[in-house]
């Protein structure tokens, strides 16, 4: 179902009215984690004003250490919905567990994170519901495996899948991960699904995010996912890779022109 051979036209995924793919470019932005009502609402207003069409914010966080902040969980989802009400931006957030699916009924785009890319029961469960799914590439997964995971979701009846390249593990240690930009080209050859790039998790360092974001647009990405925090130095998760709202404004001014240059609409 994901194979380009049997479906030559690009798929356009509609996320509560925001289109991604087939010439429609969308930016997903917001903090790694929802921390308070003020924090998520402020970030929501700033990323929307800068031109992001979707708001992200993690409520259930897949942290490496069990002693790190685990997210505000169900309460965080409620705050994210308040931020949606305040701005009108559709919301994107990560699901980690099949049992949590009822909590995600009112979420506009359900994210399956890198660590769950091959959680096949979770893939089947999000495939059995109607909301679009943002499927992130696993930390050490091939493109073939990523496409097969999309196939799991699509085989259950949900064909609204957006793929996300977010960096992979390599022998390089100076960056959090290695951004595989060629994956954008190859995924577009292999599949008809939209491909977005997350430069924030790929490099782990805010100063590098704008350059990688611009490169992703040039590589043909259908969208970007960028972490933006009101106060990165105090962020409960992923502060080092988060842009300030002012830095995001500056990046978006460039991205808007670049997207137009490549003949797409933001």
Is 127 among the residues that bind ligand PEP (CB under 6 A)? no
Least spacing, CB of residue 261 vs ligand PEP, in Å: 28
Is 113 among the residues that bind ligand PEP (CB under 6 A)? yes
Which one of 13, 50, 114, 133 is in contact with ligand PEP (CB under 6 A)? 114
- Is the CB of 1 or the CB of 63 nearer to ligand PEP? 63
How far apart are the C-alpha atoms of 41 and 2, rounded to whole Å? 36
Is 201 among the residues that bind ligand PEP (CB under 6 A)? yes
Which one of 28, 32, 43, 146 is in contact with ligand PEP (CB under 6 A)? 32
Tokens 């969208």 correspond to 223
Residues 6+ away with beta carbon under 8 Å from 232? 206, 239, 240, 242, 243, 244
- The phi-psi region of residue 14 (left if phi > 0; otherwise alpha if psi is between -120 and 50; otherwise beta) is beta
How far apart are the C-alpha atoms of 223 and 220, rounded to whole Å? 9
How far apart are the C-alpha atoms of 194 and 223, rounded to whole Å? 8
Residue in the shown chain whose Cβ atom is closest to ligand PEP? 113
Looking only at residues 24 through 43 of this chain, which bind Mn ion when binding is defined by CB under 5 A?
32
Residues 6+ away with beta carbon under 8 Å from 244? 228, 229, 230, 231, 232
Interface region with ligand PEP, contact rule CB under 6 A, candidates 23-31, 66-74, 110-118, 208-216: 110-118
Answer positive or negative: Cα dihedral of 110, 264, 159, 88: positive
Compose the 152-191 pattern: x for residues touching ligand PEP by CB under 6 A, - for all others: --------------x-------------------------
- Is the CB of 140 or the CB of 182 nearer to Mn ion? 140
Q: Which of 225, 211, 226, 222 is nearest to 263 (CA)?
A: 222
Q: Which residues bind ligand PEP (CB under 6 A)?
A: 32, 58, 62, 113-115, 136, 166, 201
Contact residues for Mn ion (CB under 5 A)? 32, 238
């Amino acid at each position: 179902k994901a194979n380009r051979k049997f479906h030559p036209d690009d798929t356009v995924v509609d996320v509560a009215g925001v289109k991604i793919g087939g010439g429609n470019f969308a930016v997903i932005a917001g903090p790694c984690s929802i921390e308070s009502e003020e924090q998520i609402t402020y970030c929501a207003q700033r990323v929307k004003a800068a031109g992001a069409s979707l708001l992200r914010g993690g409520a259930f966080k897949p942290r490496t250490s069990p002693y790190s902040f685990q997210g505000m969980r169900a309460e965080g989802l409620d705050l994210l919905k308040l931020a949606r009400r305040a701005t009108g931006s559709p919301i994107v957030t990560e699901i980690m567990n099949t049992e949590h699916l009822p909590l995600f009924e009112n979420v506009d785009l359900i994210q399956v994170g890198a660590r769950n890319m091959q959680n096949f029961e979770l893939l089947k469960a999000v495939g059995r519901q109607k909301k679009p799914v943002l499927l992130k590439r696993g930390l050490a997964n091939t493109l073939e495996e990523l496409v097969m995971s999309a196939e799991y979701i699509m085989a259950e009846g949900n064909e609204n899948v957006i793929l996300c390249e977010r960096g992979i593990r390599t022998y390089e240690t100076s960056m959090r991960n290695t951004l595989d930009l060629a994956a954008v080209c190859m995924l577009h050859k292999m599949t008809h699904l939209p491909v977005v790039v997350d430069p924030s998790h790929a490099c782990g360092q805010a100063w590098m995010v704008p350059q990688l974001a611009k490169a992703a647009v040039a590589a043909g990405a259908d969208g970007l996912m960028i972490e933006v925090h009101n106060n990165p130095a105090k962020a409960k998760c992923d502060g080092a890779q988060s842009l300030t709202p002012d830095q995001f404004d500056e990046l978006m001014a460039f991205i808007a022109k670049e997207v137009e240059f490549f003949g797409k609409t933001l």
